[in-house]
Amino acid sequence: MSTEQILSSDGIPLEISLKKAERKNKFRAVMLVGPLFLFLIITYVFPIGDMLFRSIDDRKITQMLPNTFTAIEKWDGQDLPGEPVYAALYEDLAYLKKNKTYGKIIARLNYEKGGFSSLIKKTVRKLGKFEEGNYKEQFIEVNKRWGQNDYLVSLKNAAPNWTFAKYLKGVDLKYDQNGSIVEQPEDRRIHKVLWLRTLKVAFWVTIFCFILAYPISYLLATLPMKYSNLLMICVLLPFWTSLLVRTSSWMVLLQQQGPINDLIVWLGFAANDARPELMYNVIGTFVAMTQILLPFMVLPLYSVMKTISPSLMRAGKSLGGTPFVAFRKVYFPLTIPGIGAGSLLVFILAIGYYITPALVGGASGSLISNTIAYHMKSSLDWSFAAALGTMLLVGVLTIYWIYNKLVGIDNIKLG
């Protein structure tokens, strides 16, 4: 049997030539995908990585008050610390005052405990009058709060370079002086309420969108093409309008002297002097978010319903089923993939909304995303905002994972 190699036109063995061509094709494919991959790394992977890093990074205070944290490490957090701690604090604050950098620690310590801002500022102003030795009494003389354990415990809690304290704060917990996890004071327990409100709003908005989107999608899938196209334009029309404009329109409609309240009064459901509050509460958030997110439920449902043959319903009726029974046992189960996809999309978008709740929801309608925006833009507590954002991201990924598991189980049952 001949073992002669087959050569290509340029004299290279055909096997080697084919491998070379395959490598070229792979390289060309990588080069085509490369810009997109680089774009995803720069705009998605790096920001998420930076967010995760910021949420646990707490090195600023340790670096700016090194002597204080070296001395306070040995303190048990029970009675007031000894003279060495106050002496180290004086040394660090004097250095920061000399370099005019003490302002950088004020905001961070104020996040740990309210009142640190005025305490540090007043103390720094009085440092020039301090005498050598007996620093503990001089600190307490400048401000009595230096003689309170709460402030010194908060200072000690800011010592670790890497900490999960921000994540604990996000669920109204904190570290005490012994390093144990305890609940925040009652007047500072706000984040659990916000998380529950966010989930509640997202859940009910998803339900309302489903109730409204199902018949609309059914009409889109069953009407003649000319009417279906017209209805589809109406569904897609909001995408051509700015989100801010749509939200502002709802503010006009829902205000107490707005058209909706005028209609309620005209129909006799409420007296003119007792008009219902439809804005700056959860009701306004429900109404505006449902209208804005409705297309995201309609489109997945429509894409599934369009593939369902009308003959299936006719077959169900011909076998003795009523229209309702045929719908419940034949048509509705076939639309479940569209319901799942639309519900997942609407729910994930709803838990991350902050413009609409901020404008029409007021204080009682604000969600966790509004808190993240506040800490990013107003309080500048970026590490806490990053921790909340990470928790929200983990929640979204968990919901997506659960959805995939449920879809997999349904597929097995259908198979």
**Amino acid 11: pLDDT:** 66
Spatial distance between the Cα atoms of 335 and 337, rounded to a whole number of angstroms: 6
**Amino acid 205: pLDDT:** 93
Q: Report pLDDT digits (tens) over 329-369.
A: 888 888 888 888 899 899 988 988 888 888 887 777 788 88
Q: Report CA torsion sign: 262, 266, 269, 270.
A: positive
Q: Residue type at 181?
A: I
Three state DSSP letters for the chain: CCCCCCECCCCCEHHHHHHHHHHHHHHHHHHHHHHHHHHHHHHHHHHHHHHHHHHHECHHHHHHCHHHHHHHCCCCCCCCCCHHHHHHHHHHHHHHHHHCCCHHHHHHHHHHCCCHHHHHHHHHHHHHHCCCCCHHHHHHHHCHHHHCHHHHHHHHHCCCCECCHHHHHCCCEEECCCCCEEECCHHHCCHHHHHHHHHHHHHHHHHHHHHHHHHHHHHHHHCCHHHHHHHHHHHHHHHHCCHHHHHHHHHHHHCCCCHHHHHHHHCCCCCHHHCCCCCCCHHHHHHHHHHHHHHHHHHHHHHHHCCCCHHHHHHHHHCCCCHHHHHHHHHHHHCHHHHHHHHHHHHHHHHCCCHHHHHHHCCCCCCHHHHHHHHHHCCCCHHHHHHHHHHHHHHHHHHHHHHHHHHHHHHHHHC
Residues 6+ apart with CB under 8 A from 151: 113, 115, 116, 119, 145
Q: Report pLDDT digits (tens) over 274-300.
A: 888 888 888 888 888 998 899 999 999
Q: Does residue 139 carry a pLDDT above 80? A: yes
Q: Does residue 103 carry a pLDDT above 80? A: no
Which residue would you say has higher pLDDT here, 77 or 169?
169
Q: Does residue 169 carry a pLDDT above 50? A: yes
**Amino acid 210: pLDDT:** 93
- Stretch 183-195: mean pLDDT, rounded? 84
Q: Report pLDDT digits (tens) over 270-280.
A: 888 888 888 88
- Stretch 318-331: mean pLDDT, rounded? 78
φ, ψ for residue 183, nearest 5 deg:
-75, 150
Spatial distance between the Cα atoms of 148 and 136, rounded to a whole number of angstroms: 12
- Stretch 128-155: mean pLDDT, rounded? 83
- Stretch 149-155: mean pLDDT, rounded? 79
Which residue would you say has higher pLDDT here, 59 or 401?
401
**Amino acid 408: pLDDT:** 63
Average pLDDT, the chain: 82
Closest CA to 65 of 98, 102, 99: 102
Q: Report pLDDT digits (tens) over 7-55.
A: 666 667 767 777 887 888 888 888 888 888 888 888 888 888 887 887 8
Which residue would you say has higher pLDDT here, 212 or 254?
212
Q: Report pLDDT digits (tens) over 66-91.
A: 888 888 877 777 778 888 888 888 88
CB atoms within 10 A of CB 323: 11
Spatial distance between the Cα atoms of 49 and 147, rounded to a whole number of angstroms: 40
pLDDT tier at 1 (50, 70, 90 boundaries)?
A: very low
**Amino acid 414: pLDDT:** 46
Q: Does residue 211 carry a pLDDT above 90? A: yes
Q: What is the value of pTM for the model shown?
A: 0.75
For the ranges 37-41, 111-115, 163-167, the maximum mean pLDDT occurs at 37-41
Q: Does residue 170 carry a pLDDT above 70? A: yes
Percent of the chain with pLDDT over 70: 94
- Stretch 359-388: mean pLDDT, rounded? 83
Answer left, alpha or beta for residue 11, where phi above 0 means left and psi between -120 and 50 means alpha.
Answer: left
Which residue would you say has higher pLDDT here, 175 or 167?
167
Residue ranges of domains in the chain, CATH in brackets: 59-161 (no CATH), 191-411 (1.10.3720.10)
